[in-house]
């Protein structure tokens, strides 16, 4: 699918955190996007960043990977977006959830659009799997890497589609 970029920051290598992951074709993260914490571009990435890189490689090979959120810094996200992202991280591989159902899960029924906006600004795609959130019709909806990439990621995870390109009902509404 192309190269990803993992951006980490911290005062020292022991206190770093991942502040962004960019999808192929997306512009690199600007330094201003990570105020208050200098970026470290020297030497090899810290061990956990190397593990994240390896986990992403394994994911794209089709292996089942459980991404950890231990070093993912969601503190730059607004409270509503944090709630949406944390709930999105619970959607199991191979399943999807409608924007409206996700809104219900975060305690704001009827806020499907607000959920979509929060996911559109997800700084941690793949690790926080916003590609698993779809329209209630089964249409995949939008995605930072494009709808073709979203379908490819879902296929990689075992989700199937009908002739119109909609997610088959069996993969919809995870955990409902």
Catalytic residues: 130
Q: Which residues are paired to 167 by β-bridges?
A: 161
What is the DSSP-derived secondary structure letter of residue 7? E
Ramachandran bin of 101, using left for φ above 0, alpha for ψ from -120 to 50, beta for the remaining angles: alpha
Quote the CA–CA distance of 112 and 115 in Å, as a whole number. Answer: 5
Q: How many residues does the chain have?
A: 176
Sequence-ordered strand ranges (E) for 107-151: 133-134
Tokens of 3: 């190269």
**Cβ atoms < 10 Å from Cβ of 24:** 13
């Amino acid at each position: 699918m192309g190269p990803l970029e993992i951006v980490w920051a911290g005062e020292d290598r022991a206190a770093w955190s991942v502040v962004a992951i960019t999808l192929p074709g997306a512009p690199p993260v600007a330094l201003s996007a990570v105020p208050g914490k200098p970026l470290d571009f020297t030497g090899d990435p810290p061990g956990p960043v190397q593990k994240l890189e390896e986990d992403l490689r394994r994911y794209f090979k089709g292996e089942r990977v459980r991404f950890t959120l231990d070093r993912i810094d969601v503190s730059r996200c607004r409270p509503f977006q944090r709630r949406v992202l944390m709930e999105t991280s619970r959607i199991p591989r191979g399943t999807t959830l409608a924007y409206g159902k996700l809104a219900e899960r975060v305690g704001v029924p009827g806020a499907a659009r607000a959920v979509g906006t929060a996911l559109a600004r997800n700084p941690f795609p793949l690790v926080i799997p916003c590609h698993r959130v779809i329209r209630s019709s089964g249409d995949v909806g939008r995605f930072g890497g494009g709808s073709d990439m979203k379908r490819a990621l879902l296929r990689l995870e075992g989700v199937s589609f009908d002739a119109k390109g909609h997610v088959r009902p069996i993969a919809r509404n995870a955990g409902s």
